[in-house]
């Protein structure tokens, strides 16, 4: 059994707490969160200790850390864990500043500890099937990829002050997905954005609607469509066109029942938010981390977290300057 110290008792921390406790090879050993009410709830539910940061890091019984705390704490916790020889799982992003990310990853390399970054969409069964069929040659050479990602409703405008903005917070998932699906790094990026959903988001200096185009060395093109609003649920789709055909991953719906009548067809909406939509992805992601604990190389490591932020920063630069950014 691997003992896991969980940093952060918030929404995503609760998701990981369930999967850590359910997995036959991991134990939720301790929970670390300055807000004791949330920590106590998880502690009581799973029989985990409540620890302070230094206590957990220096505890020889802790084999690995799962970092789900506030974004601004990630890099410091990663460095502490590396210095104490703990295997590291960290939710995205590593940090919002690329220089801080690179300093952090240098510390991880110096201490030689495995590290995995939580881009959960790589592990979604629908998207994974697209990737596997592409690798199997089902549609030949990939030529164009379209990723659609729309949230059901926008976050509070105040959130933009701590999130790093739409590209670093939301689009970063799709940027990583484009690299993952295509199997190569883009050579340029062009981004357009506007504020169409909530004027307060624009007043805070952010956007809520965007289209991005990525060009790859092979000549393939990826297009990303983002919105902070969808009136019909959490819109998560992917379409990959190749030289021999097309692969599509549609939305996962609340149910698969269709009602056909005189006025046409009525079907269920997509699942409401990421907790439902990506439930299976989080389970598969944790299994991958257990494989890392057992000695395998992480599929999504620190370099992937770094590169996703590079792309998000380039997208922001492209939008501000109104031109394509070479990578």
List Cα–Cα distances, 127 to 131, 140, 276, 308, in angstroms. 6, 17, 16, 18
- Dihedral of the alpha carbons of 286, 13, 59, 41, in degrees to the nearest 10: -130
Per-residue pLDDT at 307 exceeds 90: yes
Is 251 strand, coil or helix?
coil
CA atoms within 13 A on the CB side of 51: 21
155 and 258 in a single domain? The answer is yes
Contacts of 82 (CB under 8 A, 6+ apart): 88, 107, 108, 110, 111, 113, 115
Q: How far apart are CA 259 and CA 282, in angstroms?
A: 32
Calpha distance 214→171 (Å, rounded): 13
Question: Is residue 157 domain-shared with residue 299, that is, in the same domain?
Answer: yes
Out of 10-24, 82-96, 238-252, 272-286, which region has the weakest mean confidence (pLDDT)?
272-286
Q: CB burial class (10 A; 0-12, 13-18, 19+) of residue 119?
A: buried
**Shared-domain flag, residues 67 and 37:** yes
Domain termination residue (choose one: 113, 143, 159): 113
pLDDT mean over 100-123: 98
Judgement on whether residues 167 and 308 belong to the same structural domain of the protein: yes
Where does a domain end: 51, 80, 113?
113
CATH number for the domain spanning 75: value is 3.40.50.720
pLDDT at 209 (0 to 100):
98
34 and 128 inside one domain: no
Is residue 303 domain-shared with residue 217, that is, in the same domain? Answer: yes
pLDDT, mean over the chain: 96
Dump pLDDT digits (tens) for 217-266: 999 999 999 999 998 999 999 999 999 999 999 999 999 899 999 999 99
Confidence of residue 279 (pLDDT cuts 50, 70, 90): very high
Listed residues 87, 113, 139: the one ending a domain: 113
CATH number at residue 224: 3.30.360.10
**259 CB-near residues (< 8 Å, 6+ apart):** 265, 266, 267
pLDDT of 143 reads: 98
Quote the domain boundaries for residue 276: 122-326
Q: Are residues 66 and 130 in the same domain?
A: no
Whether residues 287 and 179 fall in one domain? yes
Peptide bond into 93 cis (omega under 30): yes
| Residue 120 per-residue DSSP state | G
Whether the pLDDT of residue 274 is over 90: the answer is no
**End-to-end Cα, the chain, rounded Å:** 43
Cα dist from 94 to 6, 11, 51, 68, 103, whole Å:
16, 18, 22, 11, 11
Same domain, yes or no: 150 and 203: yes
Q: Indicate if the pLDDT at residue 275 is higher than 90.
A: no
pLDDT digits (tens, 9 = 90+) for 143-182: 999 999 999 999 999 998 889 999 999 999 999 999 999 9
Q: How far apart are CA 29 and CA 114, in angstroms?
A: 19
Please check whether residues 129 and 54 belong to one and the same domain.
no
If you count them, how many residues does the chain have? 327
Q: Do 200 and 140 have their domain in common? A: yes
Same domain, 257 and 164: yes
Exposed/middle/buried for residue 159 (C-beta within 10 Å: 0-12, 13-18, 19+): middle
Which among 92, 131, 318, 119 has a CA at the least distance from the CA of 213?
A: 318
Number of domains the chain contains: 2
Q: What pLDDT is stored for residue 107 in this prediction?
A: 98
Cα(19)–Cα(34) distance, integer angstroms? 22
pTM for this one? 0.95
């Amino acid at each position: 059994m691997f003992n896991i110290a969980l940093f952060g008792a918030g929404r995503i921390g609760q998701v990981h707490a369930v999967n850590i406790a359910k997995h036959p090879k991991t134990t939720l050993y301790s929970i670390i969160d300055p807000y004791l009410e949330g920590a106590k709830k998880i502690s009581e539910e799973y029989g985990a200790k409540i620890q302070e940061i230094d206590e957990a890091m220096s505890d020889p019984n802790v084999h690995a850390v799962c970092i789900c705390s506030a974004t601004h704490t990630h890099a410091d916790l990663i460095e502490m864990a590396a210095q104490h020889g703990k295997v590291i799982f960290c939710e995205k992003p590593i940090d919002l500043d690329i220089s801080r990310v690179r300093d952090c990853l240098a510390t991880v390399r110096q201490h030689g500890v495995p590290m995995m970054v939580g881009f959960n969409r790589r592990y979604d069964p629908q998207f994974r099937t697209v990737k596997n069929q592409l690798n199997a040659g089902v549609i030949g050479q990939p030529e164009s990829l379209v990723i659609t990602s729309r949230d059901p409703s926008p976050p509070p405008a105040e959130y933009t002050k701590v999130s790093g903005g739409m590209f670093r917070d939301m689009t970063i998932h799709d940027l990583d997905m484009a690299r993952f699906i295509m199997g190569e790094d883009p050579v340029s990026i062009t981004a357009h954005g506007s504020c169409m959903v909530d004027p307060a988001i624009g007043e805070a200096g952010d956007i809520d609607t965007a289209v991005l185009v990525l060009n790859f060395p092979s000549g393939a093109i990826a297009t990303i469509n983002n919105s902070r609003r969808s009136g019909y649920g959490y819109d998560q789709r992917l379409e990959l066109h190749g030289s021999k055909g097309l692969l599509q991953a549609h939305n996962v719906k609340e149910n698969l029942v269709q009602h056909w009548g005189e006025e046409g067809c009525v079907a269920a909406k997509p699942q409401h938010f990421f907790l439902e939509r990506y439930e299976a992805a989080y389970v598969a992601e944790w299994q991958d981390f257990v494989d890392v604990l057992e000695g395998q190389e992480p599929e999504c490591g620190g370099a992937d977290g770094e590169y996703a932020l590079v792309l998000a920063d380039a997208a922001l630069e492209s939008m501000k300057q109104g031109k394509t950014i070479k990578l």
